[in-house]
């Protein structure tokens, strides 16, 4: 097998669930958060383009899984760090806790010019998050919310870690804008592994997040529902201080994976993920029927957390959700991957047995407003991609491509490049797409966002230097952190 293809396959194995994260939208975008006035970008001074690597010499994969834009027009990236490393000579706010080849969560704050402001590590002495992505979002006051899973405790958690060696709890963390720990907490059951999904903030400071639970956990707040099958999806509401307030279980006899939550109308929200069978009959209001195989799902809840309805999105193959994001008028964007066509897409799926990215806009009644596919020449299931909402509400796909499609702003360069594609919020039509990477290296995008000057931030991983990076690739490693700023015309 070609060595570059092997790297892609190994990444797929490292991230065993097809769910990858990054920020929901700009924290200052009033279409995403009407409670916050948008920063005036008249004074936006952003460089045309830059890119940089981080990491250390290690044979273990080190890669970024998400990013979130910040109020000062910069960004915070989060990833998996098997060992400690230096960023611009900065001392970390918290040191790497584990021994060599033991993963911690790593967060780095960059200015809009690509200069590091701080770096921190989160986790205990066991590997965190194991084989799952890490999610991050900016709060209303500029703090950071991070979620995933951990296999060991750290800090002084609000709710204690319940696991043992090799067994994970869902983990949720709040940092201030300088990377200092405010609180951390765990959710789980003894003897089983549980995972945190994407994470948001209510206007009153409470926290809304998702979880995949393999048992009904002990929970100090109110609980709706029960354990239905081998794994269930759930929404979790925490207080502003991380205390447990409310847990809502959603599932059936199959296996459900929770990917994220999104606000739909005020404090009403939807929970999104994918599953292997229809949910329990007690969830009576089905807005769109289950097809077969693995379908994506949405479940709607009112502002008090009471179930309203649910719907299934997919066909007879595997249709795994990666991101659930806010659209206007209470609609929801779904972004994932399918191994065959379904629905009535604008752009066709490449054919049965071939993986392609899907993007859909779902109305409040559960109907599909539009659905489209993007053929990136994938040779295996993509386990390493994300999406975000552009400043005007369009949908951005940030992913890996293995071949060129259509007429990009910048041509495909190598065996795998970072991919950015923009889709019209109303029609779903492809507005633009572009690639970033080198001719002899592999690059993958896990997240991104539109920058204040109309360009784009991308974050992910790469296998070697290309162009003129601000900081060079950690030579001798199998993979390194990669952050990129490209222009509005797709150049870097």
CATH superfamily of 3-486: YVTN repeat-like/Quinoprotein amine dehydrogenase (2.130.10.10)
Closest CA to 206 of 269, 132, 120: 269
- Report which DSSP code applies to 239: -
- Predicted confidence at residue 224, as pLDDT, reads 96
Query: Which residue's structure tokens are 């407003």?
Result: 369
- Predicted confidence at residue 476, as pLDDT, reads 84
- Predicted confidence at residue 18, as pLDDT, reads 29
Q: How far apart are CA 264 and CA 285, in angstroms?
A: 18
Sheet strands (E) in 239-331:
244-250, 256-265, 268-275, 286-288, 295-301, 307-313, 319-326
Contact 252, 230 (CB under 8 A): no
Q: How far apart are CA 341 and CA 358, in angstroms?
A: 9
Query: Which residue's structure tokens are 């965190």?
Result: 128
Q: How far apart are CA 269 and CA 299, in angstroms?
A: 9
- Predicted confidence at residue 414, as pLDDT, reads 82
Long-range contacts of 93-97 (CB under 8 A, 24+ apart): 93/118, 93/119, 93/120, 93/178, 93/179, 93/180, 93/181, 94/120, 94/121, 94/122, 94/179, 94/181, 95/121, 96/121, 97/121, 97/123, 97/124, 97/125, 97/154
- List Cα–Cα distances, 277 to 227, 249, 297, 303, in angstroms: 15, 16, 11, 27
Its pTM stands at 0.91
Residue length of the chain? 492
Closest CA to 111 of 144, 74, 69, 72: 74
- Predicted confidence at residue 128, as pLDDT, reads 65
Instruction: Quickly list DSSP for 374-421.
Output: E----SS---S-EEEE-TTS-EEEEEEESS--S--SS---SSBEEEEE
Q: What are the extents of the domains in the chain?
A: 3-486
Angle at 287 between CA 286 and CA 290, to 5 degrees: 65
Closest CA to 125 of 100, 94, 106: 100
Q: How far apart are CA 18 and CA 319, in angstroms?
A: 10
Q: How far apart are CA 291 and CA 392, in angstroms?
A: 33
If you compute the radius of gyration of the chain from its CA atoms, what whole number of angstroms results? 20
- Predicted confidence at residue 97, as pLDDT, reads 87
* Average pLDDT along the chain, 492 residues, taken 10 residues at a time: 40 33 36 36 65 89 90 93 90 87 90 95 78 88 95 94 85 97 96 94 96 96 94 98 98 95 95 96 96 94 97 95 96 97 97 96 97 96 91 96 96 93 98 94 94 92 94 89 93 80
- Predicted confidence at residue 3, as pLDDT, reads 42
Through-space distance between the first and last CA atoms of the chain, rounded to whole angstroms: 30
- Predicted confidence at residue 183, as pLDDT, reads 98
């Amino acid at each position: 097998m070609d060595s570059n293809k092997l790297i892609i396959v190994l990444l797929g194995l490292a991230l065993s669930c097809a769910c990858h994260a990054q920020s929901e939208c700009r924290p200052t975008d009033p279409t995403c958060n009407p409670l916050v006035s948008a920063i005036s970008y008249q004074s936006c001074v952003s460089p045309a383009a830059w890119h940089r690597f981080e990491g250390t010499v290690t044979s273990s994969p080190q890669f970024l899984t998400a990013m979130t834009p910040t109020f000062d027009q910069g960004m915070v990236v989060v990833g998996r760090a098997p060992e400690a490393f230096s960023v611009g000579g900065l001392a970390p706010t918290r040191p790497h806790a584990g021994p060599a080849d033991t993963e911690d969560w790593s967060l780095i704050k960059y200015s809009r010019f690509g200069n590091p402001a701080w770096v921190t590590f989160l986790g205990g002495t066991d590997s965190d998050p194991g084989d799952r992505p890490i999610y991050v979002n900016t709060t209303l006051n500029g703090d950071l919310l991070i979620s995933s899973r951990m296999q060991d405790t750290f800090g002084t958690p609000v709710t204690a870690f319940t696991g043992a060696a090799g067994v994970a709890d869902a983990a949720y963390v709040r940092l201030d804008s300088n990377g200092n720990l405010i609180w951390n907490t765990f959710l789980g059951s003894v003897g089983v592994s549980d995972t945190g999904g994407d994470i948001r903030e209510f206007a009153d400071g409470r926290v809304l997040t998702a979880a995949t639970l393999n048992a009904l956990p002990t929970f100090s707040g109110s609980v709706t529902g029960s354990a239905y099958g081998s794994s269930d999806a759930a929404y979790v509401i925490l207080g502003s201080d991380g205390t447990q307030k409310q847990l809502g279980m959603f599932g059936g006899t199959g296996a459900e994976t929770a990917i994220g939550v999104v606000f739909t109308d005020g404090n009403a929200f939807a929970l999104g993920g994918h599953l292997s069978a229809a949910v329990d009959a007690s969830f009576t209001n089905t807005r769109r029927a289950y097809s077969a195989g693995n379908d994506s799902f949405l479940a709607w809840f009112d502002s008090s957390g009471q179930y309203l309805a649910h719907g299934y999105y997919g066909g007879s193959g595997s249709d795994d959700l990666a991101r659930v994001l806010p659209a206007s008028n209470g609609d929801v964007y779904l972004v994932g991957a399918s191994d065959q066509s379904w629905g009535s897409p604008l752009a066709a799926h490449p054919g049965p047995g071939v993986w392609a990215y899907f993007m859909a806009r779902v109305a409040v009644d559960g109907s599909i407003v539009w659905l489209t596919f993007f053929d990136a020449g994938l040779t295996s299931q993509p386990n390493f991609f994300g999406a975000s909402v552009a400043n005007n509400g369009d949908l951005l796909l940030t992913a890996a491509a293995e071949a060129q499609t259509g007429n990009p702003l910048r041509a495909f360069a190598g065996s795998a490049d970072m991919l950015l594609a923009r889709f019209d919020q109303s029609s779903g039509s492809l507005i633009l797409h572009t690639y970033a990477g080198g001719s002899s290296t592999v690059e993958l995008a896990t997240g991104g966002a539109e920058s204040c000057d109309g360009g784009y931030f991308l974050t992910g991983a790469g296998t070697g230097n290309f162009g003129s990076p601000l900081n060079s690739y950690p030579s001798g490693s199998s993979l390194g952190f990669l952050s990129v700023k490209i222009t509005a015309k797709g150049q870097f």
